[in-house]
Copies of this chain bind each other. A is one copy, B any other.
Amino acid sequence: MDRTSVLPPLRAVQQRCSDCKIRHRAVCSLSGPQELAELDRIKFYRDFDPGQEIVGEGEPIDSLGSVVDGVVALHKTLEDGRRQMVGLMFASDFIGRPLRAIAPYDAIAVTKVRMCLFRRSKFEEVLSRQSSLEHRLLEMMLDELDCARDWMVLLGRKTAQERLASFLMILSRRSARLDKQPLMDGIRIEIPLTREAIAEYLGLTIETVSRQLTKLRKEGLIVMEDQRHIRIMNLARLAAITQDDPRAADEYDGNSTGNTGLIG
């Protein structure tokens, strides 16, 4: 059930957009057969190993595209090396900044990653002709913006405990949605990140992440099956800890076509 398993070799993989596994969620999900055929001609796949750089902050963006498989983290780095994660992207999420030449952040493969890529110039050219593509991209960017704003609240106002709870809730919702399971106690989630990456996500240090996790464990809210798998024993209490407004908490999964890398 792990989603970080090995990918079939590139050669063996289907090359046809029409039966791509992210077809119905990615940036191309509103494209008709004709439009898709055009994308099909200009797309290409590329695989990345964990830790490998996909885009470098401050470097020219020459290609952009969708995550087909794996997890990608977007970071920004301050002059003295402090780093903050600013995006965490999963299958079907779109990476790259159209309409800009220089990447404002770097993108690093967290797990093994397969990307479906386009040359930037080609993509922008197609984007200007295919309104369905542009419309879907807008939808996705709006979702990401909502996501970024929730993240800002987490970083600006939440305590370490609340941040961890929020993080686990986000992963839980995502996991339930992917498995088409209701969100219920006992749910088992995979954490595709090291403690360091979690710390960069939450604006904390690894030590604080670790301490808060053991605190949640000692309170019986979670069970840690191993380093990368956690079982949530009391979702209601976890949700209460996040301090999120319960009204808004679940909006984001139910949106337009339903998908952002982060929330829900």
Contact = CB atoms under 8 A, between A and B. Distances in A.
A224 interface: no
A84 B156 contact: yes
Interface stretch (A14-22, A41-49, A146-154, A178-186): A146-154
Contact of A78 (B83, B105, B134, B158): B158
Nearest to A240: B79
Contacts of A244: 78-79
B149 A138 contact: no
A102 B251 contact: yes
Given A145-B144, A251-B102, A152 B153 contact: no
A139 interface: yes
Given A57-B248, A82-B157, A245-B58, A100 B256 contact: yes
A246 B76 CA distance: 13
B256 A99 contact: yes
Contact of A151 (B78, B80, B152, B256): B152
- How many of chain A's residues touch chain B, expressed as a range? 35 or more
A252 B99 CA distance: 12
Interface string A120-164: 000000001001001101110110111011111101111000000
A16 to B, nearest CB: 28
A192 interface: no
Given A138-B141, A152-B84, A248 B203 contact: no
Interface in A156-207: 156-158, 202-203
A142 B99 contact: yes
A141 to B, nearest CB: 5
Interface of A: 57-58, 74, 76-80, 82-84, 86-87, 97-100, 102, 104-105, 128, 131, 134-135, 137-139, 141-142, 144-146, 148-153, 155-158, 202-203, 243-248, 251-252, 255-256
